Structure 1
Amino acid sequence: MAPTDTVALFFEDRATASARLFDALGMTYQDLYCRLPAQLDALDWLLARLPAGAAVLDIGSGTGQPTAARLTAAGHRVTGIDVSRTMVDLARAQVPAARFEVADVCAVPDTPGVWDAITAFFPLLQLSRADQVMVLGRIASWLAPGGLFAFATVPFDAEDTELTWLGRRVRVTSFPSAAFARLLRAAGLVVLHEQESVFRPDFPGADPEEHLFLYAAKPGGRRSRGGG
């Protein structure tokens, strides 16, 4: 990263910095991360439980692979949001059956009780801790009764720390692993599954990453068809 890029990292707002990062990564991100075994397992879990034609919101939808692609192939109605214009353009080209929009999860309008399922695979790491708590609460409110949530992050105990990821300097925030299940329960969700794994991207100099996957549900009855 050039010195000017490092300076920009400190002065851009969080959404702009995240958009710049993923605009630059483009298909590299898909090549490295679209076959994560734990993410594919999470999608299998959802696909086995969703009602026909379910309405699914994919937060941080990236290139549309594998999440939106697998869900739409199974007949579900997927809306993906991402802060990166490049990612949204790639997703629209690769998964035309889904809808993708450039949007910041912290700023999109509330859609209470609309979604049969929400997926969020690693989109919160560039949010502050306060915003992560806020977004998890919003997600819980957006789910329909009985709705399902599949979530993944990289757990660690630090806020606004700078590190090198895929050759780029980024600022990231998270919580310790045990905190996330507590946050989901505090938001009103029932945690059904918790799994930690380690993944090393096939990228020069990449370090192993600890991944945390959680499956959760909103209490209440299941619907036969989705809304939204």
Structure 2
Amino acid sequence: MAFDTIGARYLEAFPDKAGQLACGEWLLTALEPGAQVLDVGCGTGDPTARQLTDGGLRVTAIDLSDGMLQLARQTVPTAEHHRIDMYDLATERAVRAWGVPELGPAAVGRYAAATAFFSLILLPQAEIPEVLGRIRALLRPGGLLALGMVEADLDDTPLPFLGREIRISGYLREELELILHRAGFAVEAHSGHPYAPASTALPPEEQLFLRCRRVD
């Protein structure tokens, strides 16, 4: 898996985390101490899992990359970490294939919030609404979602990244908000951040950060 070898070099490529940290502050302000948060695609654990656990929240961090999870466990040892495909959240496969019952059907409504910073961009567009629906199922009524995406009309497009090839999907802002609405989320705030990745051949991009709430 590409991210097993990329590891900590990801932080070199994307050192500016201002938008992501601002979303973390939103969650820390909005949630009660000890609230459970699901970090979807936790990467190295820095900054989100670290920020939220330091702020008194209980974080369950998931990733499909063993290399990233190894770093995340070192970065945020107080978080709970699981290797699981995000596409299997809230399904029986979370139990049967991954051995994580706390992320299967029994966990519906368990989490006060979820974060997904630049993890859904690794899915084909056809799978993103399904995963958003599964994240929503794990949230309690009124639960929060902090989402980071790239604003671009891309669908499973191969791009070079730190010596490897990864496949990226993105949406234009209006289409992304429509998809979130259809998945059962209200977008309460959004911001865009022009950004030029460092140490990579990727072109400048527009990063989108959306603050959403589960609606019923």
What TM-score results when the alignment is normalised by the length of structure 1? 0.83
1:75 — aligned with what? Answer: 56
1-side partners of 2:15 and 2:138: how far apart?
A: 26
2-side partners of 1:190 and 1:177: how far apart?
A: 14
1:174 pairs with 2:174: no
Stretch of structure 1 that moved more, 29-38 or 184-193? 29-38
Identity %: 39
1:30 — aligned with what? Answer: 11
**Cα gap change, 1:204 to 1:161, in 2 (>3 Å):** closer
Cα RMSD of the aligned pairs, angstroms, is 1.6
Larger Rg: 1 or 2? 1
1:44 pairs with 2:25: yes
User: Alignment partner of 2:49: what SS?
Assistant: helix
Shift of 1:147: 1.1
1-side partners of 2:135 and 2:213: how far apart?
A: 11
Structure 1 unaligned residues grouped into runs of 5+: 1-19, 221-228
**Cα gap change, 1:34 to 1:45, in 2 (>3 Å):** farther
Shift of 1:107: 1.5
2-side partners of 1:114 and 1:184: how far apart?
A: 20
2:187 counterpart (167, 170, 191):
191
Is the CA contact (8 Å cut-off) linking 2:185 and 2:215 kept in structure 1? yes
**Cα gap change, 1:204 to 1:83, in 2 (>3 Å):** closer
Is the CA contact (8 Å cut-off) linking 1:34 and 1:66 kept in structure 2? no
Q: How many residues align?
A: 201
Structure 2 unaligned residues grouped into runs of 5+: 90-103
Is the CA contact (8 Å cut-off) linking 2:12 and 2:198 kept in structure 1? no
1-side partners of 2:154 and 2:56: how far apart?
A: 40
Shift of 1:204: 5.0
2-side partners of 1:54 and 1:34: how far apart?
A: 28
What TM-score results when the alignment is normalised by the length of structure 2? 0.87
1:161 counterpart (157, 160, 173):
157
User: As a proportion of its length, which structure holds more strand?
Assistant: 2
2-side partners of 1:160 and 1:27: how far apart?
A: 24
